[in-house]
Structure 1
Amino acid sequence: MKRHHWRTRLCCAVALGWLIAGAPLAHSDGLTHSDERWVVIGGDIAETLSALDADANVVARDDTVLYPPSMAALPSIGYLRQLSSESLLSVQPDRVLTNQYAGPKEVLAQLAAVGLDVDTIASPPTLAAIADKIRAVAQQTDRVSQGEVLAQEVTKTLDALENLPPLPPTRAMFILQHSGLTPRVAGSGTAAHTALEAVSLDNAFAAMEGYHSVGAEALAKEAPELIVISKRGLDALGGEDALWQLPGMTLTPAGREKRLIVIDDQALLGFGPRTPDQLFTLRKDVEALLGTATAQVTP
C-alpha cells in the first residue's frame, strides 16, 4: 500500500510539473508524448504496436510478448493473467496497453486508481476481429490512417485465403506443447482449431473442447493424417525423432508417413497482424506435404 501512496504522490508531482511548464497532460483521445513510458500486455497488442511503428514508448512487456525481438528483450512484468501491481509499478509506467485477457482485473483497477492510463483492447479469438483490433490500437496511439491501411491488408489476405478451393479431406492433429509421454492436442474452441479450419484441414480431435493430453488409444482411434506442431513444442519434446517415438504415433497415418509441419505458434495463433500471412504459409506447406497445388491465389 505504501507503494500505491508513493505512486499517487509521484503522479501528482509530475502533473503539477507539466502544468507549471505549460505542457498538456496525456490526451484521452489516444494522443501520446515522446517521454511517456508504456507497458504492453498481450503478444497480439505488442505485434500490432510494432506493425504500426507505435512501439517507441514501450519500456516493459508481459511474458506473452515474444515478437518483435526488440520488444521481447524488454523487462517482463510477469504473465498477463497473473499480474501484480508491484511488478507493474516497478517499471514506473505512465500507460498500460493490454488485451482483454489481462488480470486479475483488480490489479488493473488499482493501476487506474493511482493515475495510470489503462487501455484495454478487445481481442475476440476470431480471425475477423484482427482488423478491428488493429483499428483500436491505431486509435489509441494516434495512428488511425496507418491502422486503416494495415487493417485492409489483413482483410484482403484473409479473404484470399477463404476463397481458395478446399483441400482433399485431411485429418490433422495440432500439438501446441508436450507434457510427459502424451502430446497436448488442440480440440474445438481453440485458436489452433480455427487455424486448421481456415486452411481447410479437419481437426481430428474436434470432438473434444480446449487443449488436452491424449494417449496412444486416442491417437489410434482418431488417426490423424498429418501433425502440426509449434516449434517450441517440438523443441521441448526433443526434436522430430522424439515426436515419432511417442506411444501410439506409429499407429497413425501421420506417424507412418512422417507427415509433419512446424509452425511459429505466436505468429499463427496470436491473432495479430502476422496471422493471415502465417495461415497462407501453413496452407502452402500442407499442399506441399499432400502433393496438391490449389493455392493459386497469393495474399
Structure 2
Amino acid sequence: MLLVACLWPGWQAVLADSAPRTVVIGSDIAEIMAAIGALEGVVGRDDTSQYPAAVAALPSVGYLRHLAAEGTLSLAPERVIAASAAGPREVLAQLEVAGVEVVRIEQGASLAALPDKIRAVARAVERERAGAALAANIEADLARLEERRNATQTVAPRAMFLLSHSGMTPMAAGRDTAGQAVIEAAGGHNAFERFGGYKAVGAEALVARSPEVVIATRGGLEGVGGPARLWQLPGLALTPAGREHALIVCDDQALLGFGPRTPTALMALHHALHGAPKGSDDVGEACGRVAYDP
C-alpha cells in the first residue's frame, strides 16, 4: 500500500470521490437521480423504476412495498435511497443492521412536495447545485400549470380515472388517491369523489355519476383489454364518456410517479381535457385523446 501511495499520491482522494454502490427504491427517486446526473454507482432498482433506459437496464430487487433484505443484499450495496412508500420498514431496518446506509426520502406522492423531494435526493447524493436548478424548473412548471388551470374558461369535465391491471377488476379512483390528485391538478372534476380509495363500480354507479371522460394509463388500458373492451364495461356505454368514446391515455410513470416528468404530463392532461392555450408548446406527449372507431 505504501508503494502505491508513493507512486499515486492522489489515490485516497479518488477513492473518497467514488460513488458508493447504491440501490434506488421508487420510480420518483430514480428519475430525480437521473435528472441531476447522479446515476454513477447505482447498481440496482425496484420494479417500479423503469425510466430512463439506463435505470430500467439495472437488476431489480423487487416491488418497492414488498422488499426482501436478501434480494437487496445480493447486489452488495453500500447505500439504499428509498422513497417514502418503500417497505416493509422492518426490511429497511435489516439492511441498516447489515451495514447498509439507508436514506429515506420522506416526501411522498404530492405535487407540492416535489421540489423539496428533489432537494432531499440531491443532498443525499451531494448534487445540491443540480438539485436546486431542477427544483427551480419544477416550481416554474407547477406555477405555469396553476396559471393555465386558473385561466381555463371551460367547465371542469367530470372525469373517471380508471385503475386496472391484468387479471383484476377495473376500479375507479375516489378521493384521497393519486387519480383524484391528477384530475384536479389538470382542471378536471373527479366523478367518483364521494368514496375514498379505489373501488370497483357497477353499471348503476357509472350511470349515476355520468363521467364525461375516462382517463387511463397505458398500462391500465392494456390491463382492461384495450379500448374495445373498455367500452364494453357494464354501464359505461350509457354515460357521456361512453357515448362519445371520450378516452385520454397517459404514460403511467410520467403522470403518477410524482417525479420530474409529472408537471409536463399534467399540462398534457390539461390540454387533453380543455384544449391547449394559444401559442403553448410545452404540453408534451405524456397524455392524449385516443380515437375509437368500432
**TM-score scaled to structure 1, two decimals?**
0.85
Instruction: Kindly indicate whether the alpha-carbon contact (under 8 Å) linking 1:160 and 1:297 is maintained by their aligned counterparts in 2.
Output: no
Going from structure 1 to structure 2, the CA distance change for 1:91 and 1:253 (only over 3 Å counts) comes to: same
Relative to structure 1, the CA distance from residue 181 to residue 236 in structure 2 (aligned partners, 3 Å threshold; closer, same or farther) is closer
How is 1:7-18 mapped onto 2 (pairs within 5 angstroms)?
none
Residue 199 (structure 1) aligns with: 186
Distance of 1:169 and 1:25 partners within structure 2? 56
Residue 8 of structure 1 is matched in structure 2 by: none
Decide whether the 8 Å contact of 1:181 with 1:247 is kept in 2: no
Aligned residue identity for 2:115: A
1:146 aligns with 2:133: no
Mapping 1:20-31, distance limit 5 Å: 23=12
1:54 matches 2:41 = no
Whether contact under 8 Å (2:141, 2:263) holds in the other structure is yes
Q: Are positions 1:214 and 2:201 aligned together? A: yes
Q: Work out the percentage of aligned pairs sharing the same amino acid.
A: 48
1:39 paired with 2:23, answer yes
Tell me, in whole angstroms, the C-alpha distance in 2 between the residues paired with 1:84 and 1:25. 33
Deviation string, structure 1 residues 272-294 (Cα, Å, up to 9, x no partner): 11100110111112224xxxx54
2:76 aligned with 1:89:
no
> CA RMSD, aligned part only?
2.1
1:204 CA displacement = 0.2
Tell me how far apart the structure 1 counterparts of residues 53 and 270 of structure 2 sit (CA, whole Å): 26
Could you list the per-position Cα deviations for residues 36-91 of structure 1 after superposition, in whole angstroms to 9, with x for gaps in the alignment?
A: 21100001100100111101211111111121122112111111111111111111
Match of 1:12 in 2: none
Aligned positions of 1:250-261 closer than 5 A: 250-261=237-248
Give 1:68's match in structure 2, choosing from 48, 52, 58: 52
Give the Å deviation of 1:125. Answer: 2.4
Q: 1:294 to 1:168 in 2, by over 3 A?
A: farther
SS of 2:170's equivalent in the other structure is: strand
Higher RCO by CA contacts (8 Å cutoff, separation 6 or greater): 1
TM-score normalised to structure 2 length: 0.86
Residues 296, 218 of structure 1: CA spacing in aligned structure 2 closer, same or farther, 3 A cutoff?
farther
1:278 equivalenced with 2:265 (yes/no):
yes
Q: 2:93 corresponds to which residue? A: 109
Q: Give the equivalent residue in structure 2 for 1:242.
A: 229
Aligned residues of 1:182 and 1:247 also touching (Cα < 8 A): no
Q: 1:3 aligns to what?
A: none
Confirm whether residue 156 of structure 1 aligns to residue 140 of structure 2: yes
CA distance in 2, matches of 1:87, 1:229: 32
Quick one: which amino acid aligns to residue 33 of structure 1? S
Secondary structure of the 1:272 match is coil
1:188 is aligned to 175
CA distance in 2, matches of 1:182, 1:83: 25
Which amino acid is the alignment partner of residue 38 of structure 2?
A: A
Counterpart-to-counterpart distance in 2, 1:298 and 1:161: 13
1:230: which partner in 2?
217
Q: Structure 1: which amino acid aligns with 2:80?
A: V
Partners of 1:40 and 1:58 within 8 A in 2: yes
Identify which of 124, 138, 143 aligns with 2:108: 124
Q: Judging changes above 3 Å, is the alpha-carbon distance between structure 1 residues 220 and 37 closer, same or farther for their aligned structure 2 residues? A: same
Aligned residue number for residue 10 of structure 1:
none
Give, in angstroms, the shift of residue 24 of structure 1. 7.3
CA distance in 1, matches of 2:166, 2:39: 35
- The Cα shift of 1:97 comes to 0.5
Asked if the contact 1:43/1:65 (under 8 Å) is kept, the reply is: yes
Asked if the contact 2:85–2:108 (Cα under 8 Å) also holds between the matched residues in 1, the reply is no
Tell me the amino acid that sits aligned with residue 126 of structure 1: S
Could you list the runs of 4 or more consecutive aligned residues of structure 1 that deviate by over 2 angstroms after TM superposition?
Answer: 21-27, 178-183, 293-299
1:187–1:207 Cα contact (<8 Å) kept = yes
Q: Helix, strand or coil: the match of 1:153?
A: helix
Equivalenced residues, count: 270
Native 8 Å contact 1:182 1:246 kept in 2: no
Opposite residue 145 of structure 1, the aligned amino acid is R
Are the equivalent residues in 2 in contact too, given 1:184–1:213 (CA < 8 A)? Answer: yes
Question: 1:5 is matched with which residue?
Answer: none
What's the offset of the Cα at 1:215?
1.5
Query: In structure 1, what residue type is equivalent to 2:206?
Result: L
